[in-house]
Structure 1
Amino acid sequence: MNTVIKNTFLTATINNFGAELCSLKNNFNKEYIWEGDLDFWGKHSPILFPIVGTLKNNSFDYDHKKYHLSRHGFAREMEFELIEKKENSATFSIQSSEETLKVYPFEFELQIIYTLEKNNLSIAYKVINKGNSQIPFSIGAHPAFALPGNFDNYYIQFEKEEPLQYYLLENDLISNETKKLETHEGQIPLTYQLFENDALIFKTLESKSLTILENKKPFLKVNFEDFPSLGIWTKMNASFLCIEPWFGYSDTDENSGNIFEKEGIQILNENEIFDSEFSIEIL
């Protein structure tokens, strides 16, 4: 089932399965979200929770037990309940259940709130601790933006001129190897060679927005002021780019397995609520 929200400028379509944004169009019917071609990657904008990336051995330890969680967690594979709907906004929710507790032994509610305001779609995350212990979690976005035509016509521009150092993945885990991105006035031309070793992972960034340009003309900006980390990714020869604001990322080989010691993990105390938000701005 899909839920549609709209205003004068934009129309967004969200699939209740995974609360996944699957379309964002302007009033000229221009599509900004990747179509989800299965020959390359069948998703559009999955929600990453309660982990981002991959756990070492796809498992973690808690309270003398081992639990198994697959890459990016289970939220993207769950049916969300639509708990509030207005013309320009929609709120979706999942809660811990007998099934989630088998792989993630913490009681929670996750809400995803989509809101359109003028030329901007904001996507807010709310994690609610519904148990009597601390909750360790990561959460992140994975929107894929459609880049039709020649991939080499596109650029990305970081908000600030800064040293750009990213981490490489090795067997889906964060390696110790880093590379530097050279920019000109904060801009980087897109090439598939950039992604020959998978995603570019920035553990920290001064920039809190990233703009996509086509032939040097800006057309879309992702604002992620709340988020400390970022992934950028595409598949070879695919016509999309993912810009992924994150709280947390994959394990390293040195990870102890203790979920509370995981690098980048968030800890939510009893009765606390975690709020964060990023936005997609059509320029």
Structure 2
Amino acid sequence: MTNVFAIALEQKQYKTYTLSDKAANSSLDVVPERGGIATRWQVQGEEILYLDKERFANPELTVRGGIPILFPICGNLPDNTYTYNGVERKLKQHGFARDLPWEVAEQVTVDRAAITLVLNSNDLTRAVYPFDFQLAFTYQIKGNALEIFQRYTNLSSEPMPFSSGFHPYFFAPDKNKLRFEIPGMQYRDQKTQEMDYFTGIFDPTLDEIDVVFEQLTGLAATATDKSRGMRLILSYNSSYGSLVFWTLKGKDFYCLEPWTAPRNALNTGAHLIKLKPGASCEMLVRMTASFF
């Protein structure tokens, strides 16, 4: 019997690894050298993710689309600045993991299609974030599910403070037909800092929506897209304490982002993970897409 799981490598602008589950007609494209990003995910042949291909092709720009990786911060810092041990340092929005090349460490095609990517600290990272670390992320697809297993290891001699997250862009050609179940009654507008109650609907006529759910009561959120007959479930382990919803008017995407800590946590300490020297911690984000 032929294996239904496969990984193919194609040299495009960047080396692109395509994981596939032939039985489910699902696939995932991963581009290690462009920030370890997953750029395309298909289930039953349908596109789940959005990708701005022009921005992706320009290495000077951050990627708008796919599933960018956020580390060692989520969101931005005031003036891109944080203070650690009395020293001011600069760190740009969402950190550096999404901009650096990752290495392929392992590929698996038995019982699933999975690829593990690794990012090690280097002179570039130490200049803005004075810690030695290793990140190992495994993307796995099977059936209609995508799982991202993460291991964060502190190779420094002192505790390593960080937050991490993902910034998935979900394809939504008609945002009028979206309904959400998010495990939080209230959200905070990240621009005005005002709180509001959540009704399950976001107003697609607004120029921009950028809100954060900080008091999560569960480990999964559901988006139903009636225009596509699709239900998407985003689940995550308890390390993730915030969910950010972001979208722009006139763009065919919405973002539902699991973050371990809110903006500016490196300065405020709010929900910051402080990993002991030599220690590792593991996290999991899972997405499933089904059609009705």
- Under a length normalisation based on structure 2, what TM-score does the superposition of the two structures give? 0.83
Q: Which residue, 71, 83, 86 being the options, matches 2:105? A: 83
Deviations 1:187-209 (A, max 9, x none): x234324x645311011211321
Q: 2:256 aligns with which of 243, 267, 272?
A: 243
Are residue 277 (structure 1) and residue 277 (structure 2) matched? no
Spell out the pairing of 1:10-49 with structure 2 (5 A cutoff): 10-16=26-32, 17-27=34-44, 29-36=45-52, 42-49=64-71
Which digits, 9 at most, give the CA deviation of each residue in 1:144-168, with x for residues without a partner? 11112x220121123x5x6x11112
Q: CA RMSD in A?
A: 2.0
User: In structure 1, the residue corresponding to 2:250 is in which secondary structure?
Assistant: coil
User: Residues 15 and 33 from structure 1, CA distance in 2 versus in 1: closer, same or farther, beyond 3 angstroms?
Assistant: same
Asked which structure has the greater RCO (Cα within 8 Å, sep 6+), the reply is 1
**CA displacement, residues 51-77 of structure 1 (integer Å, 9 cap, x when unaligned):** 000112211112221110000000000
- The equivalent of 2:194 in structure 1 is 177
Q: Which runs of 5+ in 1 are unaligned?
A: 183-187
> After the TM superposition, which segments of 4 or more aligned residues of structure 1 sit over 3 Å from their partners?
195-198
SS in 1 for 2:188: strand
Aligned-pair CA distance for 1:241: 1.2
**Partners of 1:168 and 1:197 within 8 A in 2:** no
Pairing partner for 1:215 from 183, 203, 226: 226
Shift of 1:225: 3.3
* Matched residue, 1:137: 162
Q: 2:217 aligned to 189, 194, 206, which one?
A: 206
Whole-Å separation in 1 of the counterparts to 2:19 and 2:141: 8
Corresponding residue for residue 6 of structure 1:
20
Write the distance in 1 (CA, Å) between the matches of 2:189 and 2:207.
10
Mapped contact 1:52–1:246 kept (Cα < 8 A): yes
* Count of aligned pairs between the two proteins: 261
Query: What SS class does the counterpart of residue 234 from structure 1 fall into?
Result: strand
8 Å contact from structure 1 (residues 231, 243) kept in 2: yes
Distance 2:221 2:53 in 1: 24
Distance 2:289 2:222 in 1: 10
The correspondence for 2:237, drawn from 225, 228, 234, is 225
Structure 2 counterpart of 1:167, one-letter code: R
1:212-233 deviation digits (Å, cap 9, x = unpaired): 2122854221112332211011
Q: Choose which of 39, 54, 58 in structure 1 pairs with 2:80.
A: 58
The offset of 1:94, in angstroms, is 0.7
Residue of structure 2 in register with 1:191 after alignment: 203
Contact 1:211 1:218 in 2 (8 A): no
Matched position secondary structure for 1:199? strand
Asked if 1:165 is matched to 2:186, the reply is yes
Aligned to 1:99: 124
Q: Percent identity?
A: 23
Letter of the structure 2 residue corresponding to residue 115 of structure 1? Q
- Contact kept, 8 Å, 1:51 with 1:72, in 2: the verdict is yes
SS in 2 for 1:57: helix
1:147–1:197 distance in 2 versus 1, CA, 3 Å: closer
Task: Summarize deviations over 1:13-36 as a string: whole Å, max 9, x none.
Answer: 111121111111124x21111022
Distance, in Å, in 2 between the alignment partners of 1:268 and 1:93 is 18
- Give the Cα–Cα distance (whole angstroms) in 1 for the partners of residues 208 and 43 of structure 2: 34
**Take 1:102 and 1:64, find their aligned partners in 2: how far apart are those partners?**
15
Whichever residue aligns with residue 257 of structure 2, its letter is: E
Q: Using the alignment, how far apart are the partners of 1:201 and 1:32 within structure 2? A: 22
Deviation at 1:37, TM superposition (A): 5.3
Contact 1:153 1:190 in 2 (8 A): no
Query: SS at the partner of 1:198?
Result: strand
